[in-house]
Amino acid sequence: VEPLKYSKVAAAASVTWQTAQAAIQSTVSLLSGCIKNGENVAVVLKDIGVLHIDGLTFQMKYYCDFLEKLSGKEKFRRALLKAPWLLDVVVSRSAPLATLALSGCVVVFPQ
């Protein structure tokens, strides 16, 4: 594990390193509090997918278009034909809105 470089995050987000540090620390504090209180957590990673935290269970589901960008549309579709269980890690962009209602804590990145 490496410490997060606030300056790199700040540069990518076009904010000061102090703003980036405050945002990161408040987000980690929020997540920590939710998990400590036993709440379900949904972390929406814009353009990537949704991380669901339910107790000690962590599950990452990815948007289909994100996976298509990583591997190419054709390769991704061929992979799904050969390994249909890959659909278990795919989520629709509209699906998180329904599942987030069941979560005790929702965090959306970036924002």
Give the tens place of pLDDT for each residue, 51-99. 888 878 888 989 888 888 888 888 888 888 888 887 888 887 776 555 5
> Which tens digit of pLDDT belongs to each residue from 39-50?
888 888 888 888
Q: Is residue 39 situated within a structural domain? A: yes
| Cβ atoms within 10 Å of 34's Cβ, excluding its own | 19
Confidence (pLDDT) at 104 = 67
Global pTM reads: 0.70
Band the pLDDT of 1: cuts 50, 70, 90.
low
Question: What residues make up the domain containing 81?
Answer: 6-109
Q: Is residue 87 situated within a structural domain? A: yes
Compute the radius of gyration of the chain from its Cα atoms.
16
> Which tens digit of pLDDT belongs to each residue from 12-37?
889 999 999 998 898 889 888 888 88
Q: CA 101 to CA 43: how far, in whole Å?
A: 12
What are the tokens at 62? Answer: 């990815």
Q: Is residue 1 situated within a structural domain? A: no
Any residues with CB less than 8 A from the CB of 20 and at least 6 apart, and which? 6, 7, 9, 10, 13
What are the tokens at 108? Answer: 């959306």
Closest among 54, 52, 55 to 89, alpha carbons compared: 52
